[in-house]
Amino acid sequence: MTITTAPAGVSLRGVGRAFGDHVVLRDIDLEIAPGEVTALLGASGCGKSTLLRMIGGLDLATSGSVRVDGHDVTGIDPRCAVVFQEPRLLPWRTLAGNVALGLPRDLPRNRRDAESRQWLAEVELHGFAGHRPRQVSGGMAQRTALARALARRPGVLLLDEPFAALDALTRLRMQDLVEDVQRRSGTTVVLVTHDVDEALKLADRVVLLGGAPTGVSVVLDVPGDRPRDHHQPELAALRSELLAGLGVPRRTPLERETHAR
Amino acid sequence: MTLIEATGADEETAKPVRKRAAGRNWRLAAAGLVLPVVVLVVWQVTAASGLYSSAQLPSPLSVLDALGELAGDGSLWTHIAISVQRVVAGFAAGAGAGFLLGAVVGLSARARAFVAPSIAALRAVPSLAWVPLLLLWFGIGEGPKITLVAIGSFFPVYTTVSAALAHADAHLVEVGRAYGLRGGELLGRIMLPSVAPAIFSGLRLALAQGWLFLVAAELIASSMGLGFLLTDSQNTGRTDILLMAIVLLATLGKVCDVLLGLVERRVLRFHK
């Protein structure tokens, strides 16, 4: 099955978000080209999820402008689809029923089930259409959530730490799956993560968020074509730089000795 | 090959487990009958011992005779039918109103601020306090009885629905919004299904309370129904009929609850 989506660009200009007097994000400027995969990297609680939610229209900026495909985002945006950290499936619906939530509203009834099944196959879940969410593993539930997002044929796929709650092996498989799906669909992806390796593996560009209130600290282009392996030697320097930016400086053997003493 | 063997083995072990589980279910259900049987035996022994006069404590068999007597002349069915009819009508009206108002108060903080305190105050009024007023307003026909049952059914549904909707799973509601659902669709597809278990427990409470309020209504002003049977038999000294009415009320209440429980199981079969 071919995934036909028209990738959309995202443009953030001077975006800020305050909760009352508490300013969380300030002066975020970012241009994301159609079809680009961008990772928003930052420490826990820095506001990276808030930024993602503002692109999807789940939250509104208190200053600046958020535009998707050249149009201001003023509410829930039909061009975006979100995958959250938790699968958030409706437990009373089958997996196919959950995917159907993402299908276009005008799709005729008799085609909805078949379409849902096709999207499930897209995330390697053929044969599980009739299962209930509580009957499948966490990884399968999260894949269903991804299928639900894909069914929306989004111009921008928003991933809010979608692998954070998965075990290490499942996480690696999910990353490969997202990478495959992105390559076939060409959709724009914004990925929120605090995992440097994940960002280096999946993204074309890594945006490091930091400071208080949070702003863009560094924007780095990741060299090499995808799919890539985060153990590639040319990524080692980037990795150290990003980790240092997150407040985890590389420790030398000497330092380790000092700590031991 | 290993897969086939594995599933084969699975089925073989699965069957006895299921049988054992079914056996346990039956034993648990039977366990519920132990106490009633003990009570019946103690009742029979006490009644036969001559400790109490038959006007104070008729034996279970004479209660059964009373049942036969009333069933024979047909009046039993009239009493049961009119009581059931009042409960069903009152429950439908009260639970329906409780559901609607509960939904409004649960969904809108403004409506909650305006309405909730007054409803809480009304709720504090004891059920019997309504009776004189209802008689005054609606006369002695069916009106006041059905209204009283409706009042009894209203509050459990109103309380559970408003509380459940106000605290509906925020994550699921957000998913619904993120995937383009709004207003009535969001309510119907996400919010109501997610609080369905709470709604059902409210309905079951409401039904039980409906029976409670029915008896209160019929005790005071009626010429038919199981509550009337209670006062009438007290006045005529027919303790056997009085006990029979109590047993009937227990049975009907239980049957109603079981029926609603079956509907609940069917509707909630996929909920956690």
Give chain A positions within 8 Å (CB) of B189. 101
Are A193 and A51 a contacting pair, CB within 8 Å? no
Residue % of chain A over a pLDDT of 70: 94
- The span from the CA of B30 to the CA of B24, in Å, is 10
- The span from the CA of B178 to the CA of A149, in Å, is 10
Q: What is the pLDDT of residues B193-235, one digit of tens each?
A: 999 999 999 999 999 999 999 998 888 878 899 999 999 998 9
Whether a cis peptide bond, with omega within 30° of 0, leads into A227 is yes
Q: Who wins on pLDDT, B23 or A16?
A: A16
The pLDDT assigned to B10 comes to 40
Q: What is the mean pLDDT of residues A149-153?
A: 90
Chain A nearest CA to B171, separation (Å): 7
* Chain pair A-B, CB pairs under 8 angstroms: 43
Residues A84, B196: C-beta atoms closer than 8 Å: no
CATH code 3.40.50.300 region(s) in chain A: 10-79+156-260
Q: Does residue A231 surpass a pLDDT of 80?
A: no
Superfamily of domain B60-267 in the CATH hierarchy: MetI-like (1.10.3720.10)
Residues in chain B: 272
Residues A152, B179: C-beta atoms closer than 8 Å: yes
Burial of B228 (0-12, 13-18, 19+ CB in 10 A): buried
Q: Does residue A258 surpass a pLDDT of 60?
A: no
Task: Please report which confidence band the pLDDT of residue A232 belongs to, taking 50, 70 and 90 as the band edges.
Answer: confident
Q: At A219, which helix (H) or strand (E)? A: strand A215-221
Are A39 and A179 a contacting pair, CB within 8 Å? no
The mean pLDDT value of chain B amounts to 87
> Does the domain spanning A10-79+156-260 belong to CATH 3.40.50.300?
yes
Q: What is the mean pLDDT of residues A172-182?
A: 89
Q: How many CB atoms lie within 10 A of CB B177?
A: 16
The pLDDT assigned to B6 comes to 40
Residue in chain B nearest A83 by alpha carbon: B175
Q: Does residue A87 surpass a pLDDT of 90?
A: yes
- Residue to substitute from A50, A79, A92, A93, interface B, most B β-carbons within 10 A: A92
- The span from the CA of A208 to the CA of A39, in Å, is 8
Which range is least confidently modeled, A228-242, B153-167, B171-185?
Answer: A228-242
Q: What is the mean pLDDT of residues A67-79?
A: 86
Query: Domain coordinates of chain B in residue numbers?
Result: 1-51, 60-267
Residues B272, A91: C-beta atoms closer than 8 Å: yes
Task: Please report which confidence band the pLDDT of residue B14 belongs to, taking 50, 70 and 90 as the band edges.
Answer: very low
Chain A nearest CA to B262, separation (Å): 18
List the structure tokens of B235: 């006045």
Phi, psi of A66 (to 5 degrees): -115, 125
Residue in chain A nearest B174 by alpha carbon: A58
Task: Specify the 3-state DSSP secondary structure of B92.
Answer: helix
